[in-house]
Amino acid sequence: MRKLAVRLLTLAMFTVALVAVPLLSAYAAGSDNPAPPASDTKKEKKKGDKSSGIDDPKFLAGYRTAYTTIYDRNDYAAAIEQLKALGHDDRADVANLIGYSYRKLGDYKVSQIWYERALKADPNYVKTWQYYGLWQLEQGNRDQAQYHLNRLAALAGTGSEEYRSLAAALEKPPGTGLVY
């Protein structure tokens, strides 16, 4: 009886671990898997709703393609078109990548609009706080970048990749002219 209880407990712990690992990796911001929008709940989804969403294979494939276009090929103009073609500009993850792409192209005004749009869609989306903080640094707004760092600390903790990245950028002396 005792062996059976130990086996069942071990099996239960193993099952929980298998379920938790994909959830934790999906939570990591900036991955090629988009995060669900803040308002995306089963209760709010209508039964006949055929709009693209996180579980739509076409949307996921398009998002991953745009993600690769940005981070592997550094083709920001093409990525902007790919992301806009998804038809979900109001999602934080999509708007954030569009803002990032415009920033990399040097169009800071348009980039700012997209970062703010991303934060409007999800005020807790840590990748936007990181990227918008780097945008602030590139603009010479160190106080605003520090504000973004503080938001990251509150949302994701000081050990998060996003926090460490922005903190490292803030440690560099002003006027170094580095683009992040």
Cα dihedral across residues 68, 71, 75, 81: positive or negative: positive
Of 126, 124, 123, residue with least CA distance to 30: 126
pLDDT digits (tens, 9 = 90+) for 50-67: 344 567 899 999 999 999
Longest dimension (CA), the chain: 70
The residue type found at 170 is: L
Q: So what's the pLDDT on residue 155?
A: 97
CB atoms < 10 A from the CB of 77, how many? 12
CA–CA separation, 94 vs 101, rounded Å?
11
Nearest to 125 by CA among 17, 20, 52, 40: 40
Average pLDDT over residues 23-30: 37
Query: Is the overall model pTM greater than 0.75, yes or no?
Result: no
Res 6: pLDDT:
58
Q: Which of 11-20, 91-100, 126-135 comes out lowest in average pLDDT? A: 11-20
- Mean pLDDT estimate for the chain: 81
Compute the distance between CA of residue 30 and CA of residue 129 in angstroms, rounded to an integer: 12
Tokens of 51: 């709009």
Q: Is the pLDDT of residue 71 over 50?
A: yes
Output 52 or 167, whichever has higher pLDDT.
167
Which tokens go with 83?
A: 């992301």
What whole-number distance in Å separates Cα of residue 18 and Cα of residue 8?
Answer: 15
Domain boundary assignment for the chain: 53-114, 124-174
Confidence of residue 27 (pLDDT cuts 50, 70, 90): very low
What is the per-residue pLDDT for 144?
Answer: 97
Range 119-136 average pLDDT: 97
